[in-house]
Amino acid sequence: MEKVDGRLVRGDQTRRAVLRRAVDIASVDGLEGLSIGRLATELGISKSGLFAHFGSKEELQLATIRAARRIYVDAVVAPALDVAPGLERVRALSERWLEYSQQRVFPGGCFFSKVSYEYGARGGAVHEAMAALHLEWMDLLETSVREAVELGQLDADPAQLAFDLNAYYESANLASILHGQESAYVHARQAIRTRLESAGA
């Protein structure tokens, strides 16, 4: 059996610990709130060690986005994709998203909402990464709605309904953060039920 290099294992564990802390910081303070110095201090790691993992602040930011995506997929996407295509999958995506925000998988609420506002008007690699992830998410939501339409469970324009549902998610997330309103999730769930009923559910 091939011997595992302990340094590689420790290096991977360090990288994972750094990125887990990085996504939590960025969900509250944004990606600009990240720095190799801050992470080194908080985690008790040398700056030179962190530079060896990431090399630059931009690469740290991009790695943080990738780590956040993996967490998001585990919390929202994968459980919903375990549900059969159609209306129930649309409902599952909606419920998992609201739970993800409400349970503070990231302490600042939705990581992607925070960073998208931060980088929406900027150019560069971070903007491009966030734009690509937003399109990926909206495509999944739209495809899920379209499958429900094709099954005769909904009668709606898939792109419009996906846009509407996502707006409910983001509105609840913002209200819960800005005002501490847990009732925002109640209102969002009711809005989603009403919207799906109006679409023939």
> What CATH number has the domain bearing residue 112?
1.10.357.10
The answer to whether residue 174 is domain-embedded is yes
The domain containing residue 56 runs over which residues?
6-198
The answer to whether residue 23 is domain-embedded is yes
The tens place of each residue's pLDDT in the chain, 201 residues long, gives 444 455 544 657 888 889 999 999 999 999 998 988 889 898 888 888 787 888 888 999 999 999 999 999 999 999 999 999 999 999 999 999 999 999 999 999 999 999 999 999 999 999 999 999 999 999 999 999 999 999 999 999 999 999 999 999 999 999 999 999 899 999 999 999 999 999 986
The answer to whether residue 1 is domain-embedded is no
Report pLDDT for 1: 47
Nearest partner of 126 among 66, 42, 194, 83, judged by Cα? 66
Helical H segments across the chain, by residue range: 6-29, 36-43, 47-54, 57-72, 78-81, 87-102, 111-119, 125-150, 158-179, 183-198
Report pLDDT for 167: 98
The answer to whether residue 179 is domain-embedded is yes
CA distance 32 to 17: 19
- Counted domains in the chain: 1
The answer to whether residue 111 is domain-embedded is yes
The CA dihedral of 199, 95, 89, 74, to the nearest 10 degrees, is 150
CA distance 69 to 113: 12
